[in-house]
Amino acid sequence: MSAFPKGFLWGGAVAAHQFEGGWDSDGKGVSIADVMTAGDHQTSRRITDGVKPGENYPNHEAIDFYHRYKGDVELFSELGLNCFRTSIAWSRIFPNGDEDQPNEKGLKFYDDLFDDLLAHHIEPVITLSHFEMPYHLVQAYGGWRNRKLIDFFVRFAKVVFDRYKDKVKYWMTFNEINNQVGMLNEWSLFTNSGLVIQPGEDKEKVMFQAAHYEAVASALAVQVGHKINPDFQIGCMVAMGPVYPATPNPNDVFKAERLMQMNYYLADVQVKGRYPRFLENYFDRRKFDLDITLEDRDVLLAGKVDYIGFSYYASHVIKAQADEPKDFITLGNNQEVKNETLQRSDWGWEIDPVGLRYALNWFSDRYDVPLFIVENGLGAFDKVERDGSIHDNYRIDYLRQHIEQMRLAVEVDGVNLMGYTPWGIIDLVSAGTGQMDKRYGVIYVDKDDQGKGSLARSKKDSFDWFRKVIQSNGEDLA
Ligand code: BG6
């Protein structure tokens, strides 16, 4: 008997902008992902002021799923996936974001894709906004710093909920909405909220305001969605990285706890429908005077999500400073120290399977709603052998160890877990670095960091391994 319930969702996860390509096909508008250049190990991605000639924008073609989805869905079916997490590119549906009428060709693409998935018994799991919004909303409105974005997002949500109400049951509103809180850097503010911080602006305040409007938009979308189809399961999506204290020193312990409170405040807002007290106090102390109305507070309470979708890649360790002010608040990830007990990925991400069990328990205790692991995986360099095979045992080890911990959380700890969709089931463009060579997939795509390659797909060793895992409902991890 499997530890995982019958109907457990085994899938793979991707995001529209990282794999679709077809960035200007069939009336699609420019999205914020279309103005981000490729970076590498050493170089950050740059955000350009519009699409500039001569720049390398890896998301424009990505892996060209837009034109090749039929073959890819065949592969997903052979792999045995019973669900597939992707996102809808907002700018395919509303190219500029502020139109009254949607783009029919964009809607049609997702109709065809969802039909094809369903014909292969693969349930679509859909994120409304995954690090992606029409670029026009940044230029004309300043992104989510503007309350008007709430209406544009809710219109978009309503259109797609209506259109796909009989094809999609599982939804999420904003991908890793809390990334901007945990990182508070140029990249996260832009990808989460389309924010470009102006000289002299307090980026904390701008971020808190934008995140509030997103939370209100999410809550309104939940209400609209449930009206359209009461069977919809609409979740939030947060990035989970447990924070451990560097030592038993109570200052370190408290700082780690404060960082957890801070990193998950948006889960409080979306799951409990209210802000945590420590943060309300902080807003007052800082005299932010945020635009949070009484009506907004009612909306948040009335639009609580049905489940928590979350990503899990790594854990973090924090140390208090000797002169830490008593009223500190922890934003950004610049006070981290290395965890010497753990191995790191090629990109320096700490590999911590037990942290996944910790995360599942932490969410389960704090929120008591169903949980869904919608991202997990190892970004690694892969080597293609002369015969075309790819022996990615390191990826199998990573996934096995995490599934083992996930199983303990379900079997021993009684966590209510809906499913598991490892990230980048097919190789795609990295969100953080814009690279192709940071690979997560069990399906290899022949394309490199310079954009060269045939785009041909092939199976890595992890493909057969994961197929057995799914077939045995998580029992056969050998
Ligand atoms: C999550 C995102 O942050 O991590 C994905 O939701 C992203 O979009 C994934 O791709 C892995 O990060 P990266 O930077 O390795 O692509």
Per DSSP, the three-state class of 262 is helix
- pLDDT tier, 328 (very low <50, low <70, confident <90, very high otherwise): low
DSSP-assigned beta bridge partners for residue 445 = 457
Alpha helices by DSSP H, 386-472: 393-411, 461-471
Over residues 6-17, mean pLDDT: 97
Q: What is the pLDDT of residues 440-449, one digit of tens each?
A: 999 999 999 9
Q: What is the pLDDT of residues 71-116, one digit of tens each?
A: 999 999 999 999 999 999 999 999 999 999 999 999 999 999 999 9
The reported pTM is: 0.98
Per DSSP, the three-state class of 104 is helix
Q: Which candidate, 425, 439, 356, places its Cα nearest to that of 84?
A: 425
User: How far does the chain reach from its first CA to its final CA, in angstroms?
Assistant: 16
CA–CA distance, 226 with 231 (Å, rounded to integer): 7
Over residues 170-184, mean pLDDT: 96
Over residues 198-223, mean pLDDT: 97
Alpha carbon nearest to ligand 1 atom 10, residue: 431
CA–CA distance, 230 with 222 (Å, rounded to integer): 10
Pairing of β 243-245 and β 316-318? parallel
Which amino acids are annotated catalytic? 375
Residue 27 CB–ligand 1 contact under 6 Å = no
Q: What is the pLDDT of residues 399-410, one digit of tens each?
A: 999 999 999 999
Nearest atom, ligand 1, residue 423 CA: 9
- pLDDT tier, 335 (very low <50, low <70, confident <90, very high otherwise): confident
CA distances from 352 to 290, 312, 315, 376, 474 (A): 37, 10, 6, 11, 19
Instruction: Tell me what pLDDT residue 366 has.
Output: 97
Whether residue 331 has pLDDT greater than 80: no
Pairing of β 336-337 and β 316-318? antiparallel
Cα–ligand 1 centroid distance for 375 (angstroms): 8
Residue 441 CB–ligand 1 contact under 6 Å = no
- Mean pLDDT (the chain, rounded): 96
Instruction: Tell me what pLDDT residue 40 has.
Output: 86
Distance of alpha carbon 473 from the chain centroid: 24
Over residues 210-218, mean pLDDT: 98
Residue 176 CB–ligand 1 contact under 6 Å = yes
Instruction: Tell me what pLDDT residue 224 has.
Output: 98
Per DSSP, the three-state class of 191 is helix
Over residues 220-245, mean pLDDT: 98
Q: What is the pLDDT of residues 359-368, one digit of tens each?
A: 999 999 999 9
Those residues whose C-beta lies under 8 Å from the C-beta of residue 123, and which sit 6 or more positions away, are 9, 11, 82, 83, 84, 117, 169, 170
